[in-house]
């Protein structure tokens, strides 16, 4: 290696040293000095502390007497997030799943239980052997009596980090060794985006590495963050997050200040990013980005600002889109700035100005994910790509379009090092499940993930999905591991109704989420801080490998996912096959050594395992700056895109042939079932509810951590952000308890009156734990889970993704005595007769 | 010359007039014994590890690598020495190997592999020679200690059982899979996936008949002339070509493929309307009528692009074709199921169509550690096993047509 590690670290320190001006991002490095009294052994030199990884960054932990007493950011993390302050509260919080528990009526009557009692939170404690016997017995019953269509294994999503203990791999492998099941397709974050973009730009894009920040900072003159809040979202990463991207945002802030780069945040709301950077704000009405984009495109054509040469060489179908734009299409409406202004709330002249700005500068468009989580969510992403193609800057340094710069430090170039593999998710080659049955009785073997409730309420319904038909399997048993289904799926009361149809639900988790509350068998997993593992450091930068030292022994009767599922497979005598005869530390060492071998072939040196484990990390040098789509621009034939034609498809004949009314051959503006600011339904429920990714959580992870929750909750409830105008009109003051409601549900929240929000827009961050007053449909949610109110419809026949951001509500000041928050603190433990067990 | 021949003839055929026959026979016998003893002594001496590692190439490079492995040091004290693996145990094979070995001694003397760097660079040659020998004899030396008939499969780890039982049924050569078991693997120059070496050695031994179709085992250049001096493009892995003739080190092949009639038309595909790349031609040649014959043109209804069926003749280097594409897919399939299940369940090959796979694969391959060549082969494998080619009922864009539990 021509680059010494020391030199690299020095460079990294220098780079970020210049950028330590971001106070709101920083946890005071010496804040909260060690809370522990004793602990003579532990020193204050954090490099001697144990190290581990998390979605929120790598951390050092001071452990005294098998108790975590202090958590500090990893010494190489220059922009740590305050979320790590929530970790101790997560480990020692009152919501821990302490013992295997079985829902009372299920304990009595098994799969014939009264399922309308789900949610009453009454559970009987059982031993591990009994719990696993019950779990295994149900798997046997389902496979023998019904077959694979009757078992659903929930898509996992944001498990905890760690390549050995990744919970989805354990569930899928162990359950898969027993028999097949109905899985899921897509995910809740980017369902519409990842489906539409392969047709248009030839790749899912949403999880792709983007143009390197040093290139953007050098070449871009205008950056548009379109419905995007990277400063909020970059706090977390899919693997252990490095927070390296923040250094570039600090530089960007400087460049805005000295006017060398213009940044426009295009968003109904003044985002955290806007406020941090001091960027310009461009307001737009919610869900009307497509009319705005169409009008910009219209201006580009009218003023001949579009790049016809680029369109001819690199795209197909502009000629079939143009008539729609110019009013010569079916609808006969010309997409003029005046037409758009009436819908999107941006003045026509300002739209023209935006078009000119984009065309006359080297412009980088950076889209967030929120606008594809709405009805017709495919359209804004497709239209964004069309706009970028018309500007002709795709593949140029600092130009074109990105859909991922807010995610896991995308834009920090990759070191090129190989990252560790994972505990196998599949059965080993040649092995068959115990019940080797592939007969799904005509039902689909997967369900588009956001349609899993439809499958229960409309059993056997045949739906369109991405050019195909799927017959929804009316599954009878569901398993969720490390996944809070009762946070991410919209429309709680609809879920409650659907859940009545399920005979058996198994949940495996470390804290008592709503998914556990609505389950029948709950198994206590330990937290990632109670097991040995390793993780990639930097999901895209491949910055290094982090040792995940077990900080403390698993609390209560909790176990690792590995132990739980190994014990399950022992029940059908395949535990040796499951574990390959290796234990936890042997797996950690194997994954490390396999990775070391692979990097050895690339001449990237890694120390032997023992040395790595002692030191706690390996870091790799920075990679080379890179420009997305540059290879395509350089040679569109050889480096063809993954679209049907190999070119950017402004018009997709393939989609046109599906014949979907809600997703046509080119991007189209379509009215939503409900829309604020004069749209349908806004007379009854005038406020648009946006349920964005939270600022101080990772989805629903960390919501249960009391010390962290105390920093943002209002009267113990999740905040609802509301404009001063809307608050005043309803007699609401900052800090008031309010009821937020629509025809789908109701919740209690604490009013956070903020002038970051325009009239007609309220925000409740997703991931707030659901805490209904009882199991009955329509019960008030006592904490403020926005999915109590959201709408459960597919984005379109194409992606069938979540439309959670298409949601109107009303807010009123709460009168009367507020019910206690029921979301946290675990179950009510009862004996088999239903008598409450005194836990003291 | 004639007199010399006559002299030799006389020497051997005319009975001796001066020395007694007994003396001659006895003398000859003693000389023979001495020579045999000396030969055996030499054979034995050169068969000792001492001799093997007496040259610094072996001592500095291979010995320290071996010392880290179980073949050097293990629980029960059984040790494999260099000759146990690298010298045939049967007499005639042994002699043959010894004669070959003179080449390595020569290499040592002239310094072809004199430094660690030179050795690493040259190691692929040495390794391939040794792998070819093991492939030819079914890893006979390994099996002196580890034979299939003596293995207790039940006591193996479950994963090993699957692999080993399969290997035993086919009586497979050990080194097919266990390359690098005692020494480091050579640098594969971009093709870091050692699995491809099996293909390369298979192609080296492939009998090629004129007029028959074969598949390329590695990406390779194509040339306008049999001297292989004018490069005009490259073939991808698993490209189907018909062999027209072989001349020296070169082979003339016929390409019969499809292209889009847009731009240079220099990317050639295996099937009409499907973006499965077989060849990439240089810009200068792609529109040259003397080189390219356009056989047919038709519009692809899914994109509106015109596709042309094209044919051309070109030269490639001999020894890079095999008669079945299946071994290539075997490697690709293994790589796909391992690399693509680290983060999520890997979708069934037939759950996408051939033109959808590149987009999805391109979006995800960055999360794997596949090298460039492996990624290309895996993509091609997925495309050729996609719904366009599948006989099962999966349609294009079937339920799995988005990645399961892909990310957030």
Q: A 162-221 residues with CB below 8 A of B?
A: 163, 168-169, 172, 183-191, 194-195, 197-199, 201-209
Average pLDDT over residues B268-280: 94
A309 touches chain B (CB under 8 A): no
Helix (H) or strand (E) holding A614: helix A609-615
A255 touches chain B (CB under 8 A): no
Backbone angles phi, psi at B372, to 5 degrees: -55, -45
Pairing, β B306-317 against β B250-260: antiparallel
* C-alpha A410: how far from chain center: 15
The Cα A468–Cα B356 span in angstroms is 14
On chain B, the residues whose CB falls within 8 A of the CB of A484 are none
The Cα A579–Cα A204 span in angstroms is 34
Beta carbons of A204 and B395 less than 8 Å apart: no
On chain A, the residues whose CB falls within 8 A of the CB of B303 are 316, 644-645, 649, 653-654
Angle at B263 between CA B262 and CA B267, to 5 degrees: 85
Minimum-distance CB partner of A445 among B337, B367, B399 = B399
Q: Where are the alpha helices (DSSP H) in B172-233?
A: 174-177, 195-204
Cβ density class A77-87: b for 16+ within 10 Å, e for less: bbbbbbbbbbb
B92-102 tens-digit pLDDT? 887 877 777 77
Model pLDDT, residue B343: 62
The Cα A546–Cα B26 span in angstroms is 78
Residue of A nearest to B405 (CA): A155
Compare A141 and B39 and report the one with higher pLDDT.
A141
A26 touches chain B (CB under 8 A): no
Residue of A nearest to B194 (CA): A601
Beta carbons of B401 and A468 less than 8 Å apart: yes
Beta carbons of A195 and B402 less than 8 Å apart: yes
User: Does pLDDT of B402 surpass 60?
Assistant: no
**Per the structure block, which two tokens stand in for A319?**
């000629």
CA distance B91 to chain A (A): 38
- Return the number of other C-beta atoms located less than 10 Å from residue A604's C-beta: 19
Average pLDDT over residues A771-791: 97
Beta carbons of B366 and A540 less than 8 Å apart: yes
Confidence of residue B192 (pLDDT cuts 50, 70, 90): low
Confidence of residue B49 (pLDDT cuts 50, 70, 90): confident
Burial of residue A48, with CB atoms counted within 10 A of its CB: 0-12 exposed, 13-18 middle, 19 or more buried: exposed
The Cα B272–Cα A508 span in angstroms is 49
User: Does pLDDT of B393 surpass 70?
Assistant: no
On chain B, the residues whose CB falls within 8 A of the CB of A654 are 302-303
A254 touches chain B (CB under 8 A): no
Burial of residue A111, with CB atoms counted within 10 A of its CB: 0-12 exposed, 13-18 middle, 19 or more buried: middle
User: Does pLDDT of A26 surpass 70?
Assistant: no
A715-741 tens-digit pLDDT? 999 999 999 999 999 999 999 999 999
Overall residue count recorded for chain A in this entry: 840
Minimum-distance CB partner of B275 among A188, A426, A640 = A640
- Return the number of other C-beta atoms located less than 10 Å from residue B164's C-beta: 17
pTM: 0.84
Confidence of residue A583 (pLDDT cuts 50, 70, 90): very high
Beta carbons of A654 and B266 less than 8 Å apart: no
A646 touches chain B (CB under 8 A): yes
The Cα A143–Cα A153 span in angstroms is 13
The Cα B384–Cα B401 span in angstroms is 16
A240 touches chain B (CB under 8 A): no
Strands (E), B129-186: none
A413 touches chain B (CB under 8 A): no
- Return the number of other C-beta atoms located less than 10 Å from residue A761's C-beta: 23
Burial of residue A183, with CB atoms counted within 10 A of its CB: 0-12 exposed, 13-18 middle, 19 or more buried: buried
Long-range own/partner contacts, residues B280-287 (CB < 8 A, 24 or more apart): B280/A638, B280/B233, B280/B234, B280/B236, B281/B232, B281/B233, B281/B312, B282/B231, B282/B232, B282/B233, B284/B232, B285/B224, B285/B232, B285/B233, B286/B259
* C-alpha A226: how far from chain center: 18
Average pLDDT over residues A314-342: 97
Burial of residue A573, with CB atoms counted within 10 A of its CB: 0-12 exposed, 13-18 middle, 19 or more buried: exposed
Beta carbons of B406 and A158 less than 8 Å apart: no
Pairing, β A745-753 against β A737-742: antiparallel
Beta carbons of B304 and A317 less than 8 Å apart: yes
Model pLDDT, residue B340: 72
User: Does pLDDT of B170 surpass 80?
Assistant: no
Look at the block and give the residue holding tokens 């400063």. A231
Beta carbons of A189 and B407 less than 8 Å apart: yes
Compare B95 and A448 and report the one with higher pLDDT.
A448
Beta carbons of B358 and A640 less than 8 Å apart: yes
Q: How many CB pairs under 8 A join A and B?
A: 207
Q: A 434-463 residues with CB below 8 A of B?
A: 444-448
Model pLDDT, residue A19: 42
Q: A 261-290 residues with CB below 8 A of B?
A: none
Q: What is the mean pLDDT of chain B?
A: 81
Model pLDDT, residue B171: 81
Three-state DSSP class for A542?
coil
A798-823 tens-digit pLDDT? 999 999 999 999 999 999 999 999 99
The Cα A159–Cα A175 span in angstroms is 17
Backbone angles phi, psi at A607, to 5 degrees: -70, 160
ipTM of the complex, rounded to two decimals:
0.72
Strands (E), A550-659: 617-619, 648-649
User: Does pLDDT of B112 surpass 80?
Assistant: no
Helix (H) or strand (E) holding A725: helix A724-729
**With contact defined as beta carbons under 8 Å apart, do A558 and A550 qualify?**
no
Closest residue by Cα to residue A794 from A380, A379, A369, A377: A377
**With contact defined as beta carbons under 8 Å apart, do A177 and A617 qualify?**
no
User: Does pLDDT of A49 surpass 50?
Assistant: yes
Minimum-distance CB partner of A316 among B184, B303, B367 = B303
Half-sphere exposure of residue A754: CA atoms within 13 angstroms, side-chain side: 18
Overall residue count recorded for chain B in this entry: 408
Beta carbons of A316 and B302 less than 8 Å apart: no
Residue of B nearest to A431 (CA): B162
On chain A, the residues whose CB falls within 8 A of the CB of B300 are 645
Model pLDDT, residue A714: 98
Model pLDDT, residue B66: 82
Residues ≥6 apart with Cβ < 8 Å to B398? A468, B350, B351, B352, B387
A657-678 tens-digit pLDDT? 999 999 999 999 999 999 999 9
On chain B, the residues whose CB falls within 8 A of the CB of A577 are 158-159
Beta carbons of A202 and B275 less than 8 Å apart: no
**Per the structure block, which two tokens stand in for B94?**
């042994």
User: Does pLDDT of A520 surpass 50?
Assistant: yes
The Cα A336–Cα B173 span in angstroms is 72
Burial of residue A495, with CB atoms counted within 10 A of its CB: 0-12 exposed, 13-18 middle, 19 or more buried: buried
The Cα A402–Cα A390 span in angstroms is 15
Model pLDDT, residue A42: 60
The Cα A688–Cα A757 span in angstroms is 11
């Amino acid at each position: 290696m021509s680059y010494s590690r020391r030199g690299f670290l020095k460079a990294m320190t220098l780079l970020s040293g210049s950028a330590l001006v971001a106070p709101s991002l920083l946890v005071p490095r010496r804040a909260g000095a060690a809370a522990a009294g004793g602990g003579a052994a532990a020193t204050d030199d954090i490099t001697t502390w144990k190290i581990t990884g998390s979605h929120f960054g790598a951390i050092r932990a001071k452990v005294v007497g098998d108790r975590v007493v202090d958590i500090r950011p990893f010494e190489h993390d220059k922009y740590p997030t305050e979320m790590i302050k929530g970790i101790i509260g997560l480990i020692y919080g009152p919501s821990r799943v302490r013992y295997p528990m079985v829902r009372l009526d299920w304990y009595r009557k098994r799969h014939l239980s009264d399922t309308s009692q789900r949610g009453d939170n009454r559970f009987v404690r059982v031993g591990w052997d009994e719990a696993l016997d019950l779990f295994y017995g149900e798997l046997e019953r389902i496979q023998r009596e019904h077959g694979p269509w009757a078992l659903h294994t929930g898509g996992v999503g944001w498990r905890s980090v760690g390549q050995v203990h990744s919970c989805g791999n354990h569930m899928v492998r162990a359950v898969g060794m027993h028999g097949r099941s109905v899985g899921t397709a897509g995910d809740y974050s980017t369902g519409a985006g990842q489906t539409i973009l392969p047709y248009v730009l030839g790749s899912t894009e949403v999880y792709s590495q983007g143009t390197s920040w040093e290139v953007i900072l050098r070449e871009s003159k205008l950056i548009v963050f379109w419905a995007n809040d990277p400063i909020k979202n970059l706090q977390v990463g899919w693997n252990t997050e490095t927070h390296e991207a923040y250094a570039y945002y600090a530089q960007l802030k400087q460049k805005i200040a000295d006017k060398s780069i213009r940044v426009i945040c295009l968003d109904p709301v003044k985002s955290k990013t806007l406020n941090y950077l001091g960027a310009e704000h461009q307001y737009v009405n919610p869900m009307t980005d497509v009319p705005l984009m169409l009008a910009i495109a219209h201006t580009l054509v009218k003023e001949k600002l579009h790049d016809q040469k680029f369109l001819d060489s690199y795209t197909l179908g502009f000629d079939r889109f143009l008539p729609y734009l110019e009013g010569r299409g079916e609808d006969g409406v010309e997409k003029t700035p005046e037409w758009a202004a009436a819908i999107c709330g941006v003045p026509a002249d300002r739209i023209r100005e935006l078009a000119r700005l984009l065309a006359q500068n080297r412009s980088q468009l950076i889209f967030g994910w929120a606008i594809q989580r709405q009805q017709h969510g495919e359209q804004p992403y497709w239209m964004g790509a069309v706009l970028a193609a018309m500007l002709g800057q795709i593949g140029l340094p600092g130009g074109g379009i990105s859909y991922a710069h807010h995610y896991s430090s995308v834009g920090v170039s990759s070191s090129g090092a190989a990252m560790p593999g994972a505990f196998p998710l599949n059965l080993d080659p040649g092995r068959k499940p115990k019940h080797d049955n592939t007969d799904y009785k005509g039902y689909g073997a997967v369900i588009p993930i956001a349609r899993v409730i439809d499958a229960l309420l409309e059993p056997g319904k045949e739906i369109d999905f991405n050019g195909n038909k799927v017959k929804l399997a009316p599954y009878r048993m569901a398993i969720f591991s490390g996944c809070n289904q009762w946070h991410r799926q919209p429309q709680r009361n609809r879920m409650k109704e659907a859940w009545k149809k399920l005979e058996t639900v198994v949940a495996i988790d470390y804290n008592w989420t709503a998914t556990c509350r609505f389950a029948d068998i709950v198994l206590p997993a330990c937290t990632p801080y109670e097991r040995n593992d390793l993780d990639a450091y930097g999901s895209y930068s491949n910055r290094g490998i982090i040792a995940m030292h077990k900080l403390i022994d698993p609390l209560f009767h909790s176990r690792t996912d590995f132990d739980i599922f190994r014990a399950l497979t022992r029940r059908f005598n395949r535990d040796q096959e499951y574990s390959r005869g290796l234990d936890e530390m042997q797996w950690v060492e194997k994954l490390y050594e396999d990775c070391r071998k692979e990097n050895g072939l690339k001449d990237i040196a890694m120390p032997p395992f023992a040395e790595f484990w002692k030191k706690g990390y390996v870091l790799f040098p920075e990679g080379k700056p890179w420009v997305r789509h540059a290879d395509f621009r350089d040679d569109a034939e050889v480096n063809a895109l993954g679209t049907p034609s190999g070119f950017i498809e402004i018009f997709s004949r393939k989609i046109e042939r599906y014949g979907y009314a809600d997703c046509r051959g080119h991007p189209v503006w379509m009215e939503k079932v409900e829309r604020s600011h004069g749209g349908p339904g806004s007379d009854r429920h005038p406020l648009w509810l946006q349920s964005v990714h939270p600022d101080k959580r990772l989805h629903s992870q960390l919501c249960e951590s009391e010390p962290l929750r105390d920093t943002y909750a209002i009267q113990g409830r999740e905040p609802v952000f509301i404009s001063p105008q809307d608050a005043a009109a309803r007699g609401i003051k900052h800090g008031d308890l309010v009821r937020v409601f629509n025809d789908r549900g109701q919740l209690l929240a604490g009013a956070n009156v903020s002038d970051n929000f325009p009239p007609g827009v309220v925000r409740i961050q997703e991931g707030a734990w659901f805490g209904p007053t009882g199991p009955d449909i329509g019960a008030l949610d006592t904490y403020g889970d926005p999915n109590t109110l959201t709408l459960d419809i597919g984005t379109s026949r194409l992606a069938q993704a979540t439309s959670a951001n298409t949601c109107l509500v009303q807010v009123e000041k709460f009168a009367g005595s507020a019910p206690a928050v029921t979301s946290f603190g675990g179950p009510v433990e009862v004996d088999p007769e239903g008598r409450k067990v005194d836990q003291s | 010359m004639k007199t010399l021949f006559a002299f030799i003839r006389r020497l051997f055929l005319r009975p001796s007039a001066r020395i007694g026959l007994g003396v001659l026979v006895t003398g000859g016998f003693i000389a023979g014994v001495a020579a045999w003893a000396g030969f055996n002594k030499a054979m034995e001496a050169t068969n000792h590890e001492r001799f093997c590692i007496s040259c610094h190439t072996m001592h500095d490079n291979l010995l320290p690598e071996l010392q880290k492995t179980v073949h050097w040091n293990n629980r029960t004290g059984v040790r494999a020495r260099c000759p146990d693996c690298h010298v045939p145990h049967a007499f005639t094979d042994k002699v043959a190997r010894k004669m070959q070995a003179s080449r390595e001694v020569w290499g040592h003397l002239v310094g072809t592999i004199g430094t660690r760097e030179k050795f690493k660079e040259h190691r692929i040659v040495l390794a391939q020679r040794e792998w070819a020998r093991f492939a030819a004899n079914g890893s006979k030396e390994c099996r002196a200690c580890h034979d299939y008939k003596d293995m207790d499969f039940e006591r193996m780890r479950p994963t090993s059982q699957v692999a080993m039982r399969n290997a035993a049924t086919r009586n497979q050569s050990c080194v097919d899979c266990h390359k690098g078991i005692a020494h480091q693997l050579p640098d594969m120059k971009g093709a870091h996936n050692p699995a491809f070496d099996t293909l390369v050695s298979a192609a080296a031994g492939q009998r090629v008949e004129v007029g028959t179709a074969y598949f390329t085992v590695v990406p390779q250049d194509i040339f306008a002339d049999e001297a292989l001096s004018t490069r005009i493009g490259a073939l991808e892995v698993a490209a189907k070509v018909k062999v027209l003739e072989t001349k020296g080190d070169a082979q003339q092949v016929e390409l019969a493929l499809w292209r889009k009639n847009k731009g240079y038309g220099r990317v050639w595909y295996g099937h009409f309307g499907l973006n499965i790349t077989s060849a990439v031609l240089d810009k200068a040649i792609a529109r040259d009528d003397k080189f390219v014959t356009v056989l047919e043109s038709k519009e692809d209804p899914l994109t509106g692009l015109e596709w042309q069926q094209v044919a051309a003749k070109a030269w490639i280097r001999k020894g890079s074709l095999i008669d079945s594409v299946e071994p290539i897919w075997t490697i690709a399939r293994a790589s796909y199921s391992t690399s693509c299940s680290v983060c999520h369940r890997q979708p069934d090959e037939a759950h996408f169509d051939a033109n959808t796979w590149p987009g999805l694969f391109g979006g995800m391959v960055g999360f794997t550690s596949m090298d460039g060549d492996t990624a290309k082969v895996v993509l091609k494998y997925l495309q050729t096993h996609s719904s366009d080619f599948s006989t099962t009922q999966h349609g294009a864009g079937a339920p799995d047509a988005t990645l399961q539990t892909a990310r957030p």
